[in-house]
Structure 1
Amino acid sequence: MRAAKVARAGIMLALVALVAACSRGDPSMMHIQRGMTTPDEFAILPNKPIETPPNYNDLPAPNPLGGNRTDVNPEAEAIAALGGNPARVVRDGKIVADSGLIRHTTRYGVEQNVRANLALEDLEYRKRNRGRALERLFQVPTYYSAYERQAIDQHGALWYYRARGLPTPAAPSDPEVD
Protein backbone atom coordinates (compact mmCIF):
# COMPACT_ATOMS: atom_id res chain seq x y z
CA MET A 1 0.00 0.00 0.00
CA ARG A 2 2.74 2.43 1.01
CA ALA A 3 4.79 1.53 -2.07
CA ALA A 4 1.80 2.34 -4.32
CA LYS A 5 1.48 5.83 -2.78
CA VAL A 6 5.20 6.50 -3.21
CA ALA A 7 5.00 5.28 -6.80
CA ARG A 8 1.99 7.53 -7.51
CA ALA A 9 3.78 10.52 -5.96
CA GLY A 10 6.86 9.75 -8.05
CA ILE A 11 4.79 9.53 -11.23
CA MET A 12 3.07 12.84 -10.43
CA LEU A 13 6.41 14.53 -9.81
CA ALA A 14 7.75 13.11 -13.07
CA LEU A 15 4.69 14.40 -14.96
CA VAL A 16 5.09 17.88 -13.46
CA ALA A 17 8.78 17.87 -14.41
CA LEU A 18 7.90 16.70 -17.92
CA VAL A 19 5.33 19.47 -18.34
CA ALA A 20 7.86 22.04 -17.12
CA ALA A 21 10.50 20.66 -19.50
CA CYS A 22 8.17 20.84 -22.48
CA SER A 23 6.94 24.38 -21.92
CA ARG A 24 7.03 26.66 -24.95
CA GLY A 25 7.11 30.39 -25.34
CA ASP A 26 9.73 33.01 -24.67
CA PRO A 27 12.40 31.35 -22.54
CA SER A 28 12.98 33.47 -19.46
CA MET A 29 16.33 33.04 -17.75
CA MET A 30 16.27 35.57 -14.94
CA HIS A 31 12.87 34.80 -13.33
CA ILE A 32 12.54 38.20 -11.69
CA GLN A 33 8.85 37.54 -11.06
CA ARG A 34 9.82 34.71 -8.72
CA GLY A 35 9.97 37.07 -5.76
CA MET A 36 13.45 38.39 -6.38
CA THR A 37 13.65 42.11 -6.48
CA THR A 38 16.08 43.84 -8.78
CA PRO A 39 16.58 47.55 -9.25
CA ASP A 40 15.41 49.19 -12.43
CA GLU A 41 18.60 50.80 -13.64
CA PHE A 42 16.70 52.78 -16.27
CA ALA A 43 14.31 54.39 -13.79
CA ILE A 44 16.91 56.74 -12.38
CA LEU A 45 18.62 59.23 -14.63
CA PRO A 46 21.33 61.09 -12.76
CA ASN A 47 21.60 64.77 -13.50
CA LYS A 48 24.80 66.67 -13.89
CA PRO A 49 25.82 68.67 -10.83
CA ILE A 50 24.43 72.17 -10.56
CA GLU A 51 27.13 74.76 -11.04
CA THR A 52 27.29 78.50 -10.71
CA PRO A 53 28.06 80.17 -14.03
CA PRO A 54 30.92 82.67 -14.15
CA ASN A 55 28.57 85.32 -15.55
CA TYR A 56 24.83 85.33 -14.91
CA ASN A 57 24.25 87.45 -18.02
CA ASP A 58 25.40 84.50 -20.18
CA LEU A 59 22.56 82.27 -18.95
CA PRO A 60 19.84 81.50 -21.51
CA ALA A 61 16.32 82.75 -20.92
CA PRO A 62 14.07 80.26 -19.11
CA ASN A 63 12.15 78.06 -21.51
CA PRO A 64 9.55 75.67 -20.06
CA LEU A 65 9.63 73.53 -23.22
CA GLY A 66 13.40 73.61 -23.59
CA GLY A 67 16.18 71.80 -21.86
CA ASN A 68 18.26 72.63 -18.85
CA ARG A 69 22.04 73.02 -18.77
CA THR A 70 22.22 70.18 -16.25
CA ASP A 71 19.93 67.83 -18.21
CA VAL A 72 21.55 64.63 -19.36
CA ASN A 73 21.75 64.19 -23.12
CA PRO A 74 23.07 60.66 -23.66
CA GLU A 75 23.16 60.95 -27.45
CA ALA A 76 25.29 64.09 -27.38
CA GLU A 77 27.53 62.67 -24.64
CA ALA A 78 28.10 59.48 -26.66
CA ILE A 79 28.96 61.54 -29.74
CA ALA A 80 31.41 63.62 -27.70
CA ALA A 81 32.98 60.43 -26.30
CA LEU A 82 33.48 59.14 -29.85
CA GLY A 83 35.15 62.38 -30.91
CA GLY A 84 32.21 64.04 -32.62
CA ASN A 85 30.64 67.42 -32.10
CA PRO A 86 27.76 67.14 -29.60
CA ALA A 87 26.42 70.54 -30.67
CA ARG A 88 25.31 68.96 -33.94
CA VAL A 89 22.69 66.81 -32.23
CA VAL A 90 19.20 68.24 -32.29
CA ARG A 91 16.84 67.79 -29.34
CA ASP A 92 15.28 64.57 -30.68
CA GLY A 93 18.71 62.88 -30.75
CA LYS A 94 19.27 62.89 -34.51
CA ILE A 95 22.66 63.84 -35.87
CA VAL A 96 22.27 66.91 -38.04
CA ALA A 97 25.64 66.95 -39.75
CA ASP A 98 28.66 65.15 -38.42
CA SER A 99 29.92 63.27 -41.44
CA GLY A 100 33.25 62.44 -39.77
CA LEU A 101 31.58 60.59 -36.92
CA ILE A 102 29.17 58.77 -39.24
CA ARG A 103 32.00 57.81 -41.59
CA HIS A 104 34.08 56.46 -38.69
CA THR A 105 31.30 54.47 -37.06
CA THR A 106 30.16 52.93 -40.37
CA ARG A 107 33.64 52.17 -41.73
CA TYR A 108 33.04 48.39 -41.56
CA GLY A 109 29.59 48.60 -43.09
CA VAL A 110 26.09 48.92 -41.72
CA GLU A 111 23.80 45.94 -41.27
CA GLN A 112 20.18 46.76 -41.88
CA ASN A 113 17.75 45.62 -39.16
CA VAL A 114 20.60 44.72 -36.80
CA ARG A 115 18.37 44.95 -33.72
CA ALA A 116 15.69 42.65 -35.14
CA ASN A 117 18.31 40.14 -36.33
CA LEU A 118 20.06 40.16 -32.96
CA ALA A 119 16.75 39.69 -31.13
CA LEU A 120 15.90 36.66 -33.30
CA GLU A 121 19.35 35.12 -32.85
CA ASP A 122 19.20 35.66 -29.09
CA LEU A 123 15.72 34.12 -28.88
CA GLU A 124 16.98 31.02 -30.70
CA TYR A 125 19.99 30.85 -28.39
CA ARG A 126 17.78 31.13 -25.29
CA LYS A 127 15.51 28.38 -26.61
CA ARG A 128 18.52 26.08 -27.03
CA ASN A 129 19.93 26.98 -23.56
CA ARG A 130 16.82 27.01 -21.36
CA GLY A 131 18.32 25.10 -18.49
CA ARG A 132 17.54 21.70 -17.08
CA ALA A 133 14.04 20.50 -16.29
CA LEU A 134 14.27 21.09 -12.53
CA GLU A 135 15.80 24.53 -13.09
CA ARG A 136 12.79 25.45 -15.21
CA LEU A 137 10.39 23.79 -12.78
CA PHE A 138 11.70 25.72 -9.78
CA GLN A 139 12.50 28.83 -11.86
CA VAL A 140 16.18 28.91 -11.02
CA PRO A 141 17.92 31.78 -12.86
CA THR A 142 20.02 30.29 -15.68
CA TYR A 143 21.02 33.51 -17.42
CA TYR A 144 24.63 33.66 -16.24
CA SER A 145 25.37 30.00 -16.91
CA ALA A 146 23.79 30.19 -20.39
CA TYR A 147 25.87 33.20 -21.45
CA GLU A 148 29.04 32.27 -19.55
CA ARG A 149 30.94 31.16 -22.68
CA GLN A 150 30.22 34.52 -24.35
CA ALA A 151 31.38 36.65 -21.42
CA ILE A 152 34.63 38.55 -21.69
CA ASP A 153 37.23 37.82 -19.05
CA GLN A 154 37.90 41.45 -18.26
CA HIS A 155 40.89 40.79 -16.03
CA GLY A 156 42.41 38.38 -18.54
CA ALA A 157 42.01 40.99 -21.28
CA LEU A 158 43.52 43.63 -19.01
CA TRP A 159 46.58 41.50 -18.29
CA TYR A 160 46.85 40.59 -22.01
CA TYR A 161 46.97 44.25 -23.10
CA ARG A 162 49.23 45.37 -20.26
CA ALA A 163 51.73 42.58 -21.09
CA ARG A 164 51.96 44.06 -24.59
CA GLY A 165 52.49 47.59 -23.29
CA LEU A 166 49.14 48.92 -24.49
CA PRO A 167 47.41 51.63 -22.44
CA THR A 168 44.43 50.53 -20.32
CA PRO A 169 42.99 53.78 -18.93
CA ALA A 170 39.53 52.37 -18.07
CA ALA A 171 40.78 49.25 -16.31
CA PRO A 172 38.43 47.25 -14.08
CA SER A 173 39.17 46.92 -10.41
CA ASP A 174 41.79 44.39 -9.34
CA PRO A 175 40.23 40.97 -8.56
CA GLU A 176 42.83 40.36 -5.85
CA VAL A 177 41.54 43.39 -3.92
CA ASP A 178 37.82 42.65 -4.48
Structure 2
Amino acid sequence: MRAFLLTLGIVAMAGLSGCSRDPNLMNLGAGQDGPDEFAILPTRQLSLPSDLNVLPPPTPGGSNITDPAPMGDAVAALGGNPAQLAAQGIGAGDAALVAYAGRGGTSPGIRQQLAQEDVAWRSANSRRLLETIARTNVYMRAYRPMMLDSQAEQERWGRAGARVPTAPPRP
Protein backbone atom coordinates (compact mmCIF):
# COMPACT_ATOMS: atom_id res chain seq x y z
CA MET A 1 0.00 0.00 0.00
CA ARG A 2 2.82 2.35 0.93
CA ALA A 3 4.64 1.70 -2.36
CA PHE A 4 1.44 2.32 -4.28
CA LEU A 5 0.93 5.72 -2.60
CA LEU A 6 4.56 6.65 -3.22
CA THR A 7 4.26 5.69 -6.90
CA LEU A 8 1.00 7.60 -7.18
CA GLY A 9 2.63 10.67 -5.63
CA ILE A 10 5.58 10.52 -8.02
CA VAL A 11 3.27 10.16 -11.02
CA ALA A 12 1.17 13.10 -9.80
CA MET A 13 4.26 15.31 -9.36
CA ALA A 14 5.56 14.33 -12.79
CA GLY A 15 2.19 15.15 -14.31
CA LEU A 16 2.05 18.54 -12.63
CA SER A 17 5.59 19.38 -13.69
CA GLY A 18 4.49 19.17 -17.32
CA CYS A 19 1.87 21.88 -16.82
CA SER A 20 4.28 24.76 -17.35
CA ARG A 21 3.03 27.56 -19.57
CA ASP A 22 6.47 28.89 -20.52
CA PRO A 23 7.42 28.01 -24.11
CA ASN A 24 10.76 29.83 -24.00
CA LEU A 25 13.96 27.85 -24.15
CA MET A 26 16.17 28.08 -21.05
CA ASN A 27 14.03 30.83 -19.50
CA LEU A 28 14.94 30.88 -15.83
CA GLY A 29 12.89 33.95 -15.00
CA ALA A 30 9.55 32.61 -16.20
CA GLY A 31 6.56 33.70 -14.19
CA GLN A 32 8.45 36.14 -12.02
CA ASP A 33 6.49 39.36 -12.20
CA GLY A 34 7.21 40.55 -8.66
CA PRO A 35 9.79 43.11 -7.59
CA ASP A 36 13.46 42.31 -7.80
CA GLU A 37 14.94 42.97 -4.38
CA PHE A 38 18.45 42.99 -5.83
CA ALA A 39 17.61 45.86 -8.19
CA ILE A 40 17.14 48.29 -5.29
CA LEU A 41 20.31 50.30 -4.78
CA PRO A 42 20.97 53.07 -2.28
CA THR A 43 21.37 56.49 -3.84
CA ARG A 44 24.07 59.03 -3.12
CA GLN A 45 23.42 61.90 -0.78
CA LEU A 46 21.68 64.90 -2.28
CA SER A 47 23.96 67.86 -2.87
CA LEU A 48 23.66 71.20 -4.61
CA PRO A 49 26.25 71.59 -7.39
CA SER A 50 28.19 74.84 -7.54
CA ASP A 51 26.88 75.50 -11.06
CA LEU A 52 23.27 74.55 -11.79
CA ASN A 53 24.00 74.60 -15.54
CA VAL A 54 25.89 71.30 -15.20
CA LEU A 55 22.74 69.46 -14.19
CA PRO A 56 21.45 67.07 -16.86
CA PRO A 57 18.05 67.88 -18.33
CA PRO A 58 15.24 65.89 -16.72
CA THR A 59 14.22 62.93 -18.83
CA PRO A 60 11.61 60.32 -17.89
CA GLY A 61 13.43 57.10 -17.15
CA GLY A 62 16.79 58.86 -17.42
CA SER A 63 19.51 59.10 -14.81
CA ASN A 64 20.41 61.86 -12.40
CA ILE A 65 23.57 62.81 -10.54
CA THR A 66 22.51 60.99 -7.34
CA ASP A 67 22.11 57.62 -9.07
CA PRO A 68 24.67 55.07 -7.92
CA ALA A 69 27.42 54.23 -10.39
CA PRO A 70 29.28 51.27 -8.91
CA MET A 71 31.33 50.62 -12.06
CA GLY A 72 32.37 54.26 -12.29
CA ASP A 73 33.21 54.34 -8.59
CA ALA A 74 35.36 51.23 -8.97
CA VAL A 75 37.17 52.67 -12.00
CA ALA A 76 37.82 55.93 -10.14
CA ALA A 77 39.04 54.05 -7.05
CA LEU A 78 41.54 52.17 -9.21
CA GLY A 79 42.84 55.38 -10.77
CA GLY A 80 40.95 55.27 -14.06
CA ASN A 81 38.66 57.71 -15.80
CA PRO A 82 34.98 56.86 -15.15
CA ALA A 83 33.95 58.98 -18.16
CA GLN A 84 35.49 56.34 -20.43
CA LEU A 85 32.77 53.87 -19.40
CA ALA A 86 30.26 55.91 -21.40
CA ALA A 87 32.58 56.29 -24.39
CA GLN A 88 30.95 55.10 -27.58
CA GLY A 89 32.56 54.06 -30.80
CA ILE A 90 35.73 52.20 -31.60
CA GLY A 91 38.96 52.94 -29.80
CA ALA A 92 42.04 53.98 -31.77
CA GLY A 93 43.81 50.72 -30.96
CA ASP A 94 40.95 48.64 -32.34
CA ALA A 95 40.17 50.60 -35.51
CA ALA A 96 42.51 48.53 -37.72
CA LEU A 97 41.09 45.24 -36.38
CA VAL A 98 37.49 46.35 -36.97
CA ALA A 99 38.35 47.57 -40.47
CA TYR A 100 39.98 44.23 -41.30
CA ALA A 101 37.07 42.23 -39.88
CA GLY A 102 34.57 44.25 -41.91
CA ARG A 103 36.51 44.13 -45.18
CA GLY A 104 33.87 41.88 -46.80
CA GLY A 105 31.00 44.13 -45.78
CA THR A 106 28.60 44.06 -42.88
CA SER A 107 24.89 43.45 -42.51
CA PRO A 108 23.11 45.99 -40.28
CA GLY A 109 20.21 43.61 -39.48
CA ILE A 110 22.34 40.57 -38.63
CA ARG A 111 21.03 40.22 -35.06
CA GLN A 112 17.39 40.11 -36.18
CA GLN A 113 18.26 37.72 -39.01
CA LEU A 114 20.09 35.36 -36.66
CA ALA A 115 17.23 35.47 -34.15
CA GLN A 116 14.75 34.48 -36.87
CA GLU A 117 17.01 31.69 -38.13
CA ASP A 118 17.48 30.43 -34.56
CA VAL A 119 13.72 30.22 -34.00
CA ALA A 120 13.34 28.34 -37.28
CA TRP A 121 16.17 25.94 -36.33
CA ARG A 122 14.70 25.25 -32.90
CA SER A 123 11.20 24.69 -34.23
CA ALA A 124 12.52 22.24 -36.84
CA ASN A 125 15.01 20.39 -34.63
CA SER A 126 14.11 20.67 -31.01
CA ARG A 127 10.77 19.23 -29.98
CA ARG A 128 9.08 15.91 -30.32
CA LEU A 129 5.43 15.25 -29.49
CA LEU A 130 5.90 14.16 -25.87
CA GLU A 131 8.47 16.91 -25.25
CA THR A 132 5.98 19.48 -26.54
CA ILE A 133 3.21 18.13 -24.34
CA ALA A 134 5.46 17.97 -21.27
CA ARG A 135 7.18 21.29 -22.16
CA THR A 136 10.60 19.87 -21.33
CA ASN A 137 13.85 21.71 -21.91
CA VAL A 138 15.52 20.38 -25.04
CA TYR A 139 18.21 23.04 -25.49
CA MET A 140 21.17 20.67 -25.49
CA ARG A 141 19.58 18.20 -27.91
CA ALA A 142 18.48 20.97 -30.27
CA TYR A 143 22.03 22.31 -30.61
CA ARG A 144 23.96 19.01 -30.38
CA PRO A 145 24.87 19.05 -34.13
CA MET A 146 26.56 22.43 -33.63
CA MET A 147 28.53 21.52 -30.49
CA LEU A 148 32.31 21.35 -30.63
CA ASP A 149 33.85 18.11 -29.37
CA SER A 150 36.69 19.49 -27.27
CA GLN A 151 38.38 16.10 -26.92
CA ALA A 152 38.44 15.48 -30.68
CA GLU A 153 39.74 19.00 -31.36
CA GLN A 154 42.47 18.59 -28.76
CA GLU A 155 43.56 15.33 -30.36
CA ARG A 156 43.43 16.83 -33.88
CA TRP A 157 45.58 19.82 -32.93
CA GLY A 158 47.94 17.60 -30.94
CA ARG A 159 48.48 15.34 -33.98
CA ALA A 160 49.16 18.46 -36.07
CA GLY A 161 52.02 19.34 -33.71
CA ALA A 162 50.42 22.28 -31.93
CA ARG A 163 50.82 22.77 -28.21
CA VAL A 164 47.39 22.31 -26.64
CA PRO A 165 46.14 22.76 -23.10
CA THR A 166 44.42 19.95 -21.30
CA ALA A 167 40.72 19.42 -21.93
CA PRO A 168 38.19 18.53 -19.27
CA PRO A 169 37.57 14.81 -18.81
CA ARG A 170 34.80 13.15 -20.78
CA PRO A 171 31.52 12.96 -18.88
TM-score, normalised via structure 2 length: 0.48
TM-score, normalised via structure 1 length: 0.47
Determine which structure has greater relative contact order: mean sequence separation of CA pairs < 8 Å that are 6+ residues apart, divided by chain length: 1
